[in-house]
Amino acid sequence: MSAPARGRGRRPGGPDTRGAILLAARRSFADKGFGSTTIRAVAAEAEVDPALVHHYFGSKDDLFLAALEIPVDPRALLPTVFEGGVTGAGERLLRIFLSVWDDPRARLPLIALVRSSLVQEGPESLLQQGILRMILDPLRTALPSAEADRRVQLVISQMAGLVMARYLLALEPLASMPTEEVVAWVAPTLQRYLDGPLPAG
Amino acid sequence: MSAPARGRGRRPGGPDTRGAILLAARRSFADKGFGSTTIRAVAAEAEVDPALVHHYFGSKDDLFLAALEIPVDPRALLPTVFEGGVTGAGERLLRIFLSVWDDPRARLPLIALVRSSLVQEGPESLLQQGILRMILDPLRTALPSAEADRRVQLVISQMAGLVMARYLLALEPLASMPTEEVVAWVAPTLQRYLDGPLPAG
């Protein structure tokens, strides 16, 4: 599908323009996935100039977070995790994670994202290409490169399991466990995955 | 819906009887969930005597595992976890978990179960009422009762996270990590959740 000729049929910037872009973006991410969605195609579907999409929403990552109504930005939150070095990073990461997931405004769209992504097959899902990448990349850069991927994925495995058990399945008493108790149980796990000794062999 | 009168319209035991029962059971678990499925209603839909369902498949739990084509029985596997006491139970549990999930014959139906259950809301899902209960109950009985639920749910959180990261999302290198390396990383986590000191407060 080619974009309409410049200046023809384009919606001017206005009160409903933002909404039209978000609607087009939401449809494209859902139908085509993250990788195949482009700012240009979203703009064409919303009948606006691509520059207006950038103006309102910034990058494709920004547009993704806005379209899925995820009110937190992992790229802004995560750099603080390693500000004091790797020591204590497990606890800092877990506290950020819990503050996001314990907030219903963030939890509900995130649950919708996890649910829709788990129904799809493989690494093309919005969860993996959209959000997980924004989380994995900043964590990875803070660790020795030879071990970074496996350490970060083990961290993700424990956090993904909390998503399942505490937020999706809502197992009690885990679902109602106070933050400080979750931190006391789980932060040592994340910390060991981040900087514990590598298993022999 | 009342069951048909005894002896009328019932299918006799025969080569297609087992298949008819499984089909009826699969439909009922999918449509009504685990709690609302009864042997009697499955028998009525398959047009057989309820006694025949028991004869072929045993209990409702057995019928559930057969209908979902899950070739392992958590109730048979899990008692060995605590045979040597709680010491080493984390590793024994993890080895059973990995042997099941690393076997494609078990993994594929389990992934289908997890996917379908995560789309549903709340504790009525087949995952929770069907399988998770068969796993949680034997683990819980082996631990001090006041702490059993939270310890077992933390264990489940790490195992559920492995399901997500290693098997559903299939993140590399975690998805291809050899069993011994997964055990070396993750067994200490499970062991601490099972018998580590309770957090203060």
The domains found in chain A, sorted by start residue, are 17-67 (1.10.10.60), 74-195 (1.10.357.10)
Higher-confidence residue of A13 and B187: namely B187
Beta strands in chain A, from DSSP E residues, in sequence order = none
Q: Which of A56-60, A183-187, B44-48, B121-125 has the lowest mean pLDDT?
A: B121-125
Best mutation site among A101, A154, A181, A194 for testing chain B: the one with the most B CBs within 10 Å?
A154
Hey, are the CB atoms on B201 and A185 less than 8 Å from each other? no
CA neighbours within 13 Å on the CB side: how many for A122? 3
pLDDT per residue as tens digits for the range A143-194: 888 899 999 999 999 999 999 999 988 899 999 999 999 999 999 999 999 9
Looking at the complex, report in whole angstroms how far the Cα of residue A172 sits from the nearest Cα belonging to chain B: 8
CA separation for the pair B97, B177 (Å, rounded): 15
pLDDT per residue as tens digits for the range A6-48: 444 556 666 689 999 999 999 998 888 888 899 999 999 999 9
Q: What pLDDT score does B122 carry?
A: 56
pLDDT per residue as tens digits for the range B48-87: 999 999 999 999 999 999 998 888 888 888 888 988 889 9
pLDDT per residue as tens digits for the range B89-101: 999 999 999 999 9
User: What ipTM was predicted for this assembly?
Assistant: 0.84
Chain B CB within 8 Å of residue A157 CB: yes
Chain A CB within 8 Å of residue B55 CB: no
Chain B CB within 8 Å of residue A118 CB: yes
Q: Is the dihedral of CA B144, B147, B150, B151 positive or negative?
A: negative
Element (H, E) at A2: none
Hey, are the CB atoms on A161 and B164 less than 8 Å from each other? yes
Q: Is the dihedral of CA B116, B118, B121, B124 positive or negative?
A: positive
From chain B residues 125-154, the ones with a CB under 8 A of any chain A CB are 125, 127-128, 132, 149-150, 153-154
CA separation for the pair B133, B22 (Å, rounded): 21
Determine what percent of chain B is predicted with pLDDT higher than 70. Answer: 89
In three-state secondary structure terms, A181 is: helix
Q: What average pLDDT does chain A have?
A: 87
The answer to whether the CB of A156 falls within 8 A of the CB of A94 is no
Q: Which residue has 């069907």 as its token pair?
A: B130
Q: What pLDDT score does B120 carry?
A: 65
CA dihedral B80, B84, B88, B91 (to 10 degrees): -10
CB atoms near residue A37 (< 10 Å): 24
B74 to each of A6, A49, B30, B142, B176, how far by Cα in Å? 63, 57, 21, 15, 24
Hey, are the CB atoms on A153 and B174 less than 8 Å from each other? yes
Looking at the complex, report in whole angstroms how far the Cα of residue A154 sits from the nearest Cα belonging to chain B: 7
Mean pLDDT of A90-105: 94
Chain A CB within 8 Å of residue B160 CB: yes
Identify the closest residue of chain A to B116 by CA–CA distance: A119
Hey, are the CB atoms on A185 and B193 less than 8 Å from each other? yes
Hey, are the CB atoms on B174 and A185 less than 8 Å from each other? no
